[in-house]
Amino acid sequence: MFETTNTKNDFPLTIVIPARGTSSTLSRLFVSIEREAVKTNVLVVDDNYSEYEKSELAKTVASFAKKSLNNTYRVIPNYGKYAGGARNTGINATTTKWLLFADGDDFFSHGWYKCVAQYFCSPFDVVFFGSTSFNESTGMLGQRHRRYAWAVKKYEDKKSVRNELRLRYDFPVPWCKLMKTSLIKNTHIKFDEIIANEDVNFSLELGKNANSIMADKTCIYVVTESKSSSMQQVDYERSKARISVALKAQDFLINETDYRHCHISIFYWYLLAIKSGLTHDELSNLREFIKSNNASLFSKNILLCCKQILQLAIVKLNNAVHRH
């Protein structure tokens, strides 16, 4: 195991970052961490660890580790598969009280550390924060953060049962959550080690097992949108993985919760597969896969299905406008 500097157990926070042997955007993320953080362990989990010492990633991490006065930087191999396996590996290696996840192509906003640090002595198991997004193709405000920032604001403004359930069970992304490491380890919550949507079931289990949660609408994180992002990659394998996750998540919501308004939809991912140009045979195989799981393509919530069609249409229209 390569370590640029030893992990400090007395530090309050670890940031786990899945990486794939690249440093093209990682420097930007490190700068946003180093700009404000103190006593933070930065843990990079490398998918391509066998080539690590020859990579640009090694140079980037070593550079920040050498000049950092307040934080530690460490790189370990991914002992699992895909981004889910990388995050599971990061969880296992975390020894601090608190844990954040970040993606290598995103970064933290100004003031993030001060906002997060005020909860280090709090009794909460999970604290949800605000976010924003940036479209690298257009240079304009993105869309990915809107649903999550809205959910955080709703709960901070009014702590109703529905607003709490929305945070617990309709917030699948791993970022913008300050989590107690002990909660994750004691309840054995894991990310799915699959090619897409590996974070959904982790987030559902986190929501179920957290005794106390808090929401702070202060923006701490900037999500980037680009053509290379995982959300933009749609093929048969990824579509099947996403639908498989949706099947499992819907069973969880029906059997474990009282929440019935979740955006996790089989129909949405099938619709996206059509939009992305999957072949007739591939779409037929997806339908057969859904049928073999005794599920229906359409949600009982027809209004949600209509809303999802509208959302895809709006995204397509926005992309067309920006291209011109």
DSSP string spanning 43-99?
A: EEEETTGGGGGGSHHHHHHHHHHHH-SS-EEEEEE--SSHHHHHHHHHHHH--SSEE
How far is Cα 25 from Cα 245, in angstroms, rounded to an integer? Answer: 29
Question: What single-letter amino acid sits at 188?
Answer: H
How far is Cα 244 from Cα 289, in angstroms, rounded to an integer? Answer: 9
**pLDDT confidence of residue 58:** 84
**pLDDT confidence of residue 300:** 52
**pLDDT confidence of residue 47:** 81
Q: 1-228 has which CATH code? A: 3.90.550.10
What letter does residue 212 receive in the DSSP assignment?
A: -
Q: Tens place of pLDDT for every residue, the chain, 324 residues?
A: 344 445 556 899 999 999 875 667 899 999 999 999 999 999 999 887 767 676 788 888 999 999 999 999 999 999 889 999 999 999 999 999 999 999 999 999 999 999 999 999 999 999 999 999 999 888 888 888 999 999 999 999 999 999 999 999 999 999 999 999 999 999 999 999 999 999 999 999 999 999 999 999 999 999 999 766 666 678 999 999 999 999 999 889 888 887 766 666 788 889 889 989 999 999 999 999 999 998 877 655 545 555 555 655 555 555 555 545
pTM for the full predicted model: 0.88
**pLDDT confidence of residue 271:** 87
**pLDDT confidence of residue 298:** 66
**pLDDT confidence of residue 266:** 86
Task: Write out the two tokens for 134.
Answer: 């940036």
Question: What single-letter amino acid sits at 254?
Answer: I
**pLDDT confidence of residue 2:** 40
Cross-strand bridge partners of residue 143: none
**pLDDT confidence of residue 87:** 97
Task: Write out the two tokens for 39.
Answer: 């006593």
Contacts of 244 (CB under 8 A, 6+ apart): 194, 289
**pLDDT confidence of residue 3:** 47
Contacts of 22 (CB under 8 A, 6+ apart): 55, 56, 57, 104
Contacts of 187 (CB under 8 A, 6+ apart): 205, 209
- Dmax (CA) of the chain: 57
CATH 3.90.550.10 segments of the chain: 1-228
- Label residues 285-323 b or e (16+ Cβ within 10 Å = b): ebeeebeeeeeeeebeeeebbeebeeeeeeeeeeeeeee
How far is Cα 186 from Cα 253, in angstroms, rounded to an integer? Answer: 22
End-to-end Cα spacing for the chain: 49
**pLDDT confidence of residue 4:** 46
Contacts of 64 (CB under 8 A, 6+ apart): 27, 30, 34, 42, 73
Task: Write out the two tokens for 49.
Answer: 């660890």
